[in-house]
Amino acid sequence: MKIGKEEKVRLLRRILVSYIDFKQAAHISSHILAAKLHCDYPEKDRHILQALSCAMIIAYARPFSGNRGTKAMLAALPERFLSGFAPDERALHQVVMKDRNELLAHSDHSAWQLRLSVIRSSGRSPMLVPLHRDTRAPLDEKHTRMFVDMAHKLMEAMLAERRALEKELADVLPTLSLEDGRVTGDESAMRYGGW
């Protein structure tokens, strides 16, 4: 399917923003591994590992999360960018997206598996005991390593797509002068450039 220049500019914007999101996800997950935060989990550094895991997943998922699309940028990264993933990476992508949507960015009732009960004992008032799934459990070390690789693959895909789109769109975007910092172009170039 052939797409017009305006759609290509919208894709380019999504690519540029997505690269930054994947880079953030890669840096956070690399830090988790370098700091060996999985060691002694959950007794040690539990909240740090959980928070960083949440942050890496949120960053990774942003490009796929159905953001509000605008005339300037696509709402979501096209699924074709996942075509370079092996089956186990695709499966992890699905888990990460589900965790983002049901546990990390939202509190989905079914994901929590919240069950209520009461402890009753003689001489004491009844005590409510909410039992639930560990919704903040981070990816284990093996899957965090896979996650880093996935984020890097997507960064490489974003760079490749950016290079291709730059060649196609260089003549329709405005020019930034290195001499005086002015941006110039015709009306459509300025619109495509967001000026």
For residue 168, pLDDT beyond 80 = yes
At residue 179, the pLDDT reads 96
Q: What is the pLDDT of residues 65-110, one digit of tens each?
A: 877 767 777 889 999 999 999 999 999 999 999 989 888 877 767 7
Average pLDDT, the chain: 91
Name the band, by pLDDT with cuts 50, 70 and 90, for residue 176: very high
Query: With 80 as the cut, is the pLDDT of residue 136 above it?
Result: no
Element (H, E) at 127: strand 127-131
Range of the domain at 33: 5-193
How far apart CA 52 and CA 28 sit, in angstroms, is 7
Structural domains in the chain (count): 1
In sequence order, the β-bridge partners of residue 175 are: 184
